[in-house]
A and B are shown apart, each in its own frame.
Chain A
Amino acid sequence: EDQVTQSPEALRLQEGESSSLNCSYTVSGLRGLFWYRQDPGKGPEFLFTLYSAGEEKEKERLKATLTKKESFLHITAPKPEDSATYLCAVQAWGGSQGNLIFGKGTKLSVKP
């Protein structure tokens, strides 16, 4: 069964304290892995798509990496505005474009 597990469930950081979020996945054949950010009361906001092991994508203080079993979202020198829930999702080959399997997310809090 295709599955996505994110850890930790919650992470509290001080401003400037870098860390990483983990997304472990089991999928029959990975078509794409997606990272989203979700703010309270809002819909998920697209961040990155990764397609193959070894691939990396960066955006401001965020960098996403991918291996054959997991993905990491590295946050460098975070700011309070980075506080949000970060969601990871996978799309399997054979599934429809929108049939994403989401993890339950990591809730990140960055204190000034």
Chain B
Amino acid sequence: DTAVSQTPKYLVTQMGNDKSIKCEQNLGHDTMYWYKQDSKKFLKIMFSYNNKELIINETVPNRFSPKSPDKAHLNLHINSLELGDSAVYFCASSQDLGGGYGYTFGSGTRLTVV
């Protein structure tokens, strides 16, 4: 039973399209995150959510709109996709905002914009 699951695993789409990535965690954690890993392999935090509420938006363009219907789910919708959005997107969760017990990451969604 996967702790943090993301769908789809791969996504290829054309510039200008709108796409969504879904994330679910079955760990009972309160806090969820989206990270982006670009071609240079740096992992950058995008959003933090706690109990469905947005805590931090790390200066991500407003074409990216996360939505958390409940604390077990955090989806990422991207409008008007650009070439620079091509990356691997990781969802993660932690027990609380402090993250002191460690983060659990999903296996990633590889987004390719052509």
| A and B interact physically | no
| A residues apposed to B, CB below 8 Å | none
| B residues apposed to A, CB below 8 Å | none
